[in-house]
A and B are shown apart, each in its own frame.
Chain A
Amino acid sequence: MFLGTKTTTFMLGVAIGLSGTIATAKSNIVIGLQQEPTTLDPTADATASIDGIFTHNVFESLTTVTETGAVLPNLAESWKISDDNLTYTFSLAKGVKYHDGTDFNADDVKFSFDRAMGEDSVNPSKKIFSKITSVSVVDPHTIEIKLKSVDAFFLFNMAKGDASIVGSESVEGNKTNPIGTGPFTFTSWKRGDRMILSKNMDYRDAANISLDKVEFRFISDPAAASAAILSEELDAFPGFPAPELLPQFEADPRFDVRVGSTEGEVILAMNNAKPPFDDIRVRRAVSYAINRDEIIDGAMYGRATPIGSFYPPHGKAYVDLTGTYPHDTAKAKALFEEAGVAGMTMTLRLPPFPYAKRSGEIIQAQLAAAGIDAKVENVEWGFWISEIYKKQAYDMTIIAHTSPNDMGNFARGKKYFYGFEEQEFTDLWASIRTETDPAKRDEMLKQGQRYLAENAIHGFLFQLPRLGVYRNGLNGFWTSSPVLYQPLADVSWAK
């Protein structure tokens, strides 16, 4: 799959050979991914690697975002927003064609939105369309979207893969043969092994695309992934799965290691609906009992930023609240005793992700030191979905929330698996969602972070890092990522 015919015994020779190619500017790239997509349509399946490969590479949306999360025009070249912030009029790019040769126009936009919003929609992010009341074609290059209430995240959300503009003629085949308008066309997929994209020669900005061929290889085993990187089979591994293996790449001058941030807040979720976690003393005690530095050191090999609330440290509105409950086992013990739960047994059900399993084992020991017996259960994803997520049958779990702007999770009511509902926060979130003045919104986001930390709704652990290993001379990959995708249009080899 990845080591090919070369062995590392001949590594030196290969390195010399390849550096010869770099001098004449390579135009192809091999990217390693841990997860293989199941189907290829980002508007019908939530698998992250579908977005990673196709969104803004094969498919495009009305808008796009930068590495820092700023919204830019894409298929919509510009837009006007009415004074009441409820009507968006988008002017669409002209002369755009789908990869099958059909023309792109406002009808395709309407088709894509109707499909995502309609009764028969299986869009994984259907709720981002929920505020739309109407989508109408003004002329072939103008589309008007009306909202029922103000949505501060609307333009950001419209950049998502779930809001990809698909072609009405080709949509049925997108699951296996995706047809979009993007800078790259889908060429081939060998399931279990690799996927190939090629440059779209008819792209409206084709002159600025420097890659001719992009090959994705699917390697789920971290050890195999490192071997493939070291033998220079791969040029990039943007989501490298094993922080413990990074030092060998950092020590190697051939590679460039970038540790950035994602939108994934890793939390020790506590079931707020159920005793003992309906008692704030118990939740605070847990917060005192956990030692973030030890967790990050042991589970992430030091490659993560601690968080004290539910907002990413790279975000504009971030407040550092990691000092709210400094690690203090004695205090935790005292609080547990005060709440009458000392010596109690609780479950800690962990989903099958390395960050969760590793953190869970450490947290188990930290809680034990504070007098709480946490029973660790490593469960399957299907089990987690049905028992923890749907039935709320858990005391504690560890999970990363990878969506941007997801503080609204705390306003989803008692039925969401947090089991948390407070009018004060629900109202706050409603104002955040509808506040269009960025400064005011950031102020409220800070207020929200403080509220969640103060009430110790969950144990807030760390921000999931984005670990990337790249060959030297490769430019344009994002270090941090506010979204699930990575636009390849800007990626190039140094001349």
Chain B
Amino acid sequence: MGYFLFRRTVGLFLTLFAVSIVVFASMNVLPGDPAITILGIESTEDARAVLREQLGLDEPVLGQYFAWIFNALQGDFGVSYSYGVPVSELIGERIPMTLSLAFSGMALTTTLALFLGISAASYHKKPGDWGVMLLSQLGIAIPAFWLSMLLVLLFAVKLRWLPPGGFPGWDEPLSAMRSLILPTVALALVQSAVLARVTRSSALEVIRLDFVRTARASGFSKSRVLWRHVLPNALIPIVTIVGLQFAALVSGTIVIENVFYLPGLGRLIFQSISNRDLFTVQALVMMFAIIVVLANFLVDIAYVLIDPRLKGRSN
């Protein structure tokens, strides 16, 4: 186990290192010039040259990269070209938005999925089961951005119950929560479709086991057996998928934030790419990558803990 952990940890760091190089390199080959983006197309070439020097854009790329990684390891992610404030400050301002969305999305996903998955399993091979399975197929097939548009169309444009987009911040808790309803639903419906299927098949495996029959035979009600006996035992694969899905959810916020015009990290990453705001893009992509890689890493470890045979397989 120790060796396995060591190898995977080294792999993890190498992966992140590679991601940082890829981002840095691609941002440098992208056509575009932060100096013209900031100063506009009517600016003079000498003013742009001064700004490039101030931003450190005239340094050799390799030097820029090593300076960046040296500072980043000390927790300094640089100053945003376009906003002129430290990247950490920019990200800090927007994290509450994205995390609120990711967590509310996760909560709704898990609730919906557990309920649908367990119900489907309990009605195995009956219309209820097929209904849930069809719904989940449909859920997977609906693009999140279209679902968002339909929700806006119905609840914001036609009924005018909820705002079509934007986020007022947690200073106004009530309107903040109202603004989060549609994005959360849009984010969670698709994800819960995937999770419901996993829950169902995982529950089906447990239902066949002897202790469930025993429990049922000793007179416990069907729902009690499902929720008290089946669910806890089916939970391990479900939790693993939830872990993986959290990563997917965080990436999913990129699209949702753009559809609902929410001022979170996903919108920031879009704007920074088009502003050629290197340090902000770099920090954000690294953050998303760390979440994804870490989730994969934890899932792998969880698998090995459940089934130790797996660690030999990769040798």
Residues on A lying within 8 angstroms of B by beta carbon are: 1-5, 7-9, 38-39, 44-47, 119-127, 130, 175-176, 190-193, 219-221, 223-224, 227, 352, 380-383, 385-387, 389-390, 403
Inter-chain contact A389/B31, CB cutoff 8 Å: no
**Cα–Cα, bound, A387→B38 (Å):** 17
A221-B165, A381-B32 provided; 20 other pairs, C-beta below 8 A? Answer: A2-B163, A2-B168, A4-B175, A7-B161, A7-B162, A46-B38, A121-B50, A122-B54, A123-B47, A126-B44, A176-B84, A192-B263, A192-B267, A224-B163, A224-B166, A224-B261, A227-B163, A382-B275, A386-B31, A389-B36
Stretch at the interface among B18-26, B152-160, B246-254, B290-298: B152-160
15 contacts between A and B (CB under 8 A): A1-B261, A2-B166, A2-B168, A3-B162, A3-B164, A4-B172, A5-B178, A46-B38, A47-B40, A126-B44, A223-B156, A224-B166, A352-B274, A382-B274, A385-B31
- Tell me which residues from 92 to 111 in chain B have a Cβ below 8 Å from any Cβ of chain A: 93-94, 97
Closest chain A residue to B90, Cβ basis: A191
Q: Do A122 and B32 have beta carbons less than 8 Å apart?
A: no
In the complex, the answer to whether A221 meets B261 with C-beta atoms within 8 Å is yes
Q: Write the chain A residue with the least CB distance to B277.
A: A38
Q: Would B37 and A1 count as touching, CB distance under 8 A?
A: no
Contact of A9 among B37, B41, B152, B161 (CB under 8 A): B161
Query: Which of A5, A190, A385 gathers most chain B CB within 10 Å?
Result: A385
Q: Is the CB–CB distance between A385 and B36 below 8 Å?
A: yes
Closest 10 A/B residue pairs (Cβ): A46-B40, A382-B32, A192-B263, A1-B166, A3-B163, A386-B31, A8-B160, A224-B165, A124-B39, A122-B51
Is there contact, CB below 8 Å, between A385 and B51? Answer: no
The prevalent SS among residues of B at the interface is loop
Min distance, Cβ A357 to any Cβ of chain B, angstroms:
15
Contact residues in B for A119 (Cβ distance below 8 Å): 46, 50
User: Closest residue of chain B to A191, judged by CB?
Assistant: B93
User: In the complex, which of the residues A123, A192, A386 contacts B32, with contact meaning CB atoms closer than 8 Å?
Assistant: A386
User: Is residue B33 contacting chain A, with contact meaning CB distance below 8 A?
Assistant: yes
Does B85 have its Cβ within 8 Å of any Cβ on chain A?
yes
Q: Name A218's closest neighbour in chain B (CB-CB).
A: B263
**Closest Cβ of chain A: how far from B177's Cβ, in Å?**
10
Which residues on B sit within 8 Å (CB–CB) of A4? 168, 172, 175
Contact partners of A7 in chain B: CB under 8 A: 160-162
Establish whether residues B46 and A126, one from each chain, have CB atoms under 8 Å apart when the complex forms.
yes
A291 to B223, CA, bound (A): 70
The answer to whether A383 touches B32, judged by C-beta atoms less than 8 angstroms apart, is: yes
Which of A190, A192, A386 gathers the greatest number of chain B CB atoms within 10 Å?
A192
Shortest distance from the beta carbon of A411 to any chain B beta carbon, whole Å: 14
Task: Name the residue on A nearest B32 (C-beta).
Answer: A382
The interface bits of chain B over 276-297 (1 if a CB of A lies within 8 angstroms of the residue's CB, else 0) are 1000000000000000000000
A2 to B165, CA, bound (A): 9
Closest to B80 in A: A38
Q: Which residue of chain B lies nearest to A387 when distances are taken between CB atoms in the complex?
A: B31
Q: How many Å from the CB of A34 to the closest CB on chain B?
A: 11
Q: Does the CB pair B31–A224 fall under 8 Å?
A: no
Judge whether A3 and B178 touch: CB under 8 Å: yes
**What's the Cα separation between A193 and B175 when bound, in Å?**
13
Listed residue (B36, B90, B174, B276) with the most chain A CB atoms within 10 angstroms of its CB: B36
Q: Which residue of B lies closest to A220 (CB)?
A: B261
**B47–A227 CB distance below 8 A:** no
Contact B83 A38 (CB under 8 A): yes
A223 and B157 form a contact (CB under 8 A): yes
Given the interface pairs A223-B157, A403-B42, the reply to whether A126 lies near B47 with Cβ below 8 Å is: yes
A39-B84, A219-B166, A221-B165 are known contacts. Are A382 and B44 too (CB-CB below 8 A)? no
Pair A385/B261 contact, Cβ less than 8 Å: no
Tell whether B43 is near chain A: CB-to-CB under 8 Å. yes
Instruction: Note all chain B residues with C-beta closer than 8 A to A176.
Output: 84-85
Minimal beta-carbon separation of B259 from chain A (angstroms): 9
**Minimum Cβ distance to chain B for residue A194 (Å):** 9
Is B169 at the interface (CB under 8 A from chain A)? yes
A46 and B43: CB pair below 8 A?
Answer: yes
- Contacts A7-B161, A219-B166 given: A390-B33 contact, CB under 8 Å? yes
Contacts of A385 in B (CB 8 A): 31-33, 36-37, 41
B174 touches A5 (CB 8 A): yes
Q: Which of B38, B42, B169, B276 has the most CB of A within 10 A?
A: B42
CB distance from A286 to the nearest CB of B (A): 23
Contact call B41/A389, Cβ cutoff below 8 A: yes
CA distance A127 to B47 in the complex (A): 10
Interface residue B77 (Cβ < 8 Å from any Cβ of A): no
Is B30 part of the binding interface, using a Cβ–Cβ cutoff of 8 Å? Answer: yes
Residues of chain B within 8 A (CB-CB) of A8 are 160
Most chain A CB within a 10 A radius of its CB, from B85, B160, B174, B179:
B160
Question: Which residues in B have their C-beta under 8 angstroms from that of A380?
Answer: 32, 274
Contact B82 A38 (CB under 8 A): yes
- Could you tell me if B161 and A223 are in contact, using CB atoms closer than 8 angstroms? no
B170 → chain A, closest Cβ, in Å? Answer: 11
Do A221 and B32 touch across chains, with their CB atoms under 8 A apart?
no
A119 to B50, CA, bound (A): 8
Please measure, in the bound complex, the distance between the C-alpha atom of A7 and the C-alpha atom of B174, giving whole angstroms.
Answer: 12
